[in-house]
Amino acid sequence: MGSNSDTQDQIREIAWMHYVGGLTQAQIATRRGLSKMKVHRFVQAAHEQGLVKIFVNNVPTNCMELESRLIEDYGLSSCTIVPDVNELQTMDISMPAVASAGARFLHGRLESTDQMILGIGSGRTMSAIVKAMPAIKRKKAEFISVTGDFAALSDANPFEVIHALIDKTEGKGYAFTAPLIVDSEADRTLFLRQRSIRESFDRLRDASMIMIGVGHVGPGSFFRSFGLITEAEQGDMIRQGVAADLAGNLIDDTGAFIDSGIAKRMLGMERDLMHDREIVAVCAGIEKWQAARAALRSGLLNGFISSYSVAQRILDAE
């Protein structure tokens, strides 16, 4: 007979699998070797205990243990690790659960009715977070893109992410009128002289919190998915030791900034600001674990949101 703590963990896990992972009660019963009636009772118990509101209001204790270790090892002030809903934790599979946790965090910040300015990253993870977040009327909130735009017509585009936030909150939004990656270092200098771009950077200096995804290099990266770089350029990045993209800045495996190659052509968040602001990074997909580790090693993150398998892989590799 399991302990009460074990039962509570299972109630939380099944609530996550059903409401966040999107699995039916029958699928959960098969996956966990439980009867359908028992799964139904656990889902009912989650309701009765108040665990299910807009979001599942708790996580299993094994996730909490990983959160504590990451907070201690990397000097974080906040950390949310969500359970795995499938044995294969690719980006597509883990995204709903991770995005829900990110949406919960962002929604929590927006519960304050004070005037606030938030820096917002782009990409598939941030797009999923905004979609998962319930509407909350905050006309005093301002959302500012932290990087240049990219031409692909996609919900992951910085302009679209900001626009979706405006729709959800009725707040204000500002996006860069320039590409994330320009053709040359000289072009970057010219863009940075434009008044509209300088104004966006200046607005970011008043941001209380920055929320971003973690970009990786390799198969399935957003750089290649959205045609931002050629295959040859991606090869160059790998040879340079690029491990991750954080708000339009490239870092190596140790978390140090990279200053050569494509990094000279990127319009990203100013580095001094990255050291001064609360930055929360959200990472979905086991293929990104090394990028996430580089981001944590950089010392730039105050908060980290990811899945059990990514957190476990990072801690196992220390």
Question: pLDDT of 189-207, one tens digit each?
Answer: 998 898 888 888 889 999 9
* Same domain assignment for residues 157 and 294: yes
Q: How high is the pLDDT of residue 1?
A: 42
Asked, for residue 279, whether it belongs to a domain, the answer is yes
Asked, for residue 55, whether it belongs to a domain, the answer is no
* Same domain assignment for residues 190 and 80: yes
Pairing of strands 249-251, 244-246: antiparallel
Q: pTM, whole model, 2 decimals?
A: 0.80
Asked, for residue 214, whether it belongs to a domain, the answer is yes
241: left (phi over 0), alpha (psi -120 to 50) or beta: left
Q: What is the mean pLDDT of residues 145-162?
A: 78
Domains identified in the chain, total number: 2
- Which of 175-184, 187-196, 291-300 shows the lowest per-residue confidence on average (mean pLDDT)? 175-184
Domain that holds residue 292: 61-316
Asked, for residue 78, whether it belongs to a domain, the answer is yes
Calpha distance 219→9 (Å, rounded): 35
* Same domain assignment for residues 307 and 208: yes
| Residue 18's CATH number | 1.10.10.10
* Same domain assignment for residues 86 and 45: no
Q: How high is the pLDDT of residue 46?
A: 87
Residue 275 in this model has a pLDDT that exceeds 80: yes
| Residue 245's CATH number | 3.40.50.1360
Closest to 242 (Cα-Cα) out of 304, 294, 166: 294
The upper half-sphere exposure of residue 264, i.e. CA atoms within 13 Å in the direction of its Cβ, equals 9
* Same domain assignment for residues 241 and 295: yes
* Same domain assignment for residues 183 and 311: yes
* Same domain assignment for residues 39 and 115: no
Residue 116 in this model has a pLDDT that exceeds 90: yes
Of residues 270 and 233, which shows the higher confidence score? 270
CA 4 to centroid of chain Cα atoms: 33
Residue type, 107: H
Percent of the chain with pLDDT over 90: 47
